[in-house]
Amino acid sequence: MTKKRRLAVISDFHMDSNHFSQEEIDIFLSLLKDLKITDLHFAGDISNDFHGISEPFFKQIELLTELSVTYNLGNHDMVGLSEEEISVSNFQVKTFASTAFVSFHGWYDYSFMTGKIDIKKIIAFKNSFYFDRKIHRQFDDIKITNLELQKLEKLLTELSANPKIDRIIVSTHFVPHQQFIINTRYEKFARFNAYLGSQHFHETFKKFPKISDVIFGHLHQRRLPLTFDKVLYHAHPLGYPYE
């Protein structure tokens, strides 16, 4: 008899910033066991040291449990990684009977900014103050996002044409819909919307009727699921203790 599989997705674990004790890790794993989870997926921002912290953590989980662990990267995970290393875990597909679980990193293209925008100022602020100044990508933000969108559409087209796939669930790190951006009149905070994600991801998702759910993180705010164009969006970040 085939074992029933249950998938859990969590983002923004931030292991090093949160300084989890072994007791807390044990509680986390015990909860997953109680929920009868078989497959665990991290939707980015696992830690600031992918090779030194995140990978050993994945191995620890698999040693202590029977969980199958997968992930997609967030911006914090990309610190110190080459473009080749970033690409290795991008655009993964896992199947659960007739359901395909697609995971990809995502990125941002400033499309969440409202009104007239000055791209030079957005880039200057990022390079001076924002966390992602520590990440060295091969291309600029807009080109990276366009490449992600092209690969995403190609993969979703292939999966949608597969008669064995009835449903597609997507995991990404960055925000895929403008309804989740920071709503503020203060320019100091509103500028961070530039680096949250892209509305173009939703425009891609809505082309594919087999997509039922999209899970994401990056924005450290847990929200009730919201449906747009028949796609149900879930924000499942853990975030920092003060949040």
Judge contact between 27 and 56, C-beta under 8 A. Answer: no
For 22-61, how does the pLDDT look when each residue is reduced to its tens digit (9 = 90+)? 999 999 999 999 999 999 999 999 999 999 999 999 999 9
Per the prediction, the chain carries an average pLDDT of 94
Q: CB-based contacts of 140: which residues, under 8 Å, 6+ apart?
A: none
Tell me if residue 110 falls in helix, strand or coil: coil
For 141-151, how does the pLDDT look when each residue is reduced to its tens digit (9 = 90+)? 999 999 999 99
Q: What is the pLDDT of residue 144?
A: 98
Q: Is the pLDDT of residue 101 over 90?
A: yes
Extended strands (E) in the chain: 7-10, 39-43, 68-72, 92-96, 99-103, 167-171, 211-216, 223-228, 231-235
pTM of the model: 0.94
For 156-185, how does the pLDDT look when each residue is reduced to its tens digit (9 = 90+)? 999 999 999 999 999 999 999 999 987 765
For 180-223, how does the pLDDT look when each residue is reduced to its tens digit (9 = 90+)? 987 765 555 678 899 999 999 999 999 999 999 999 999 998 88
**Which superfamily is assigned to 7-235 in CATH?**
Metallo-dependent phosphatases (3.60.21.10)
Q: Which residue has the tokens 């794993």?
A: 29
- Average pLDDT value for residue range 8-34: 96
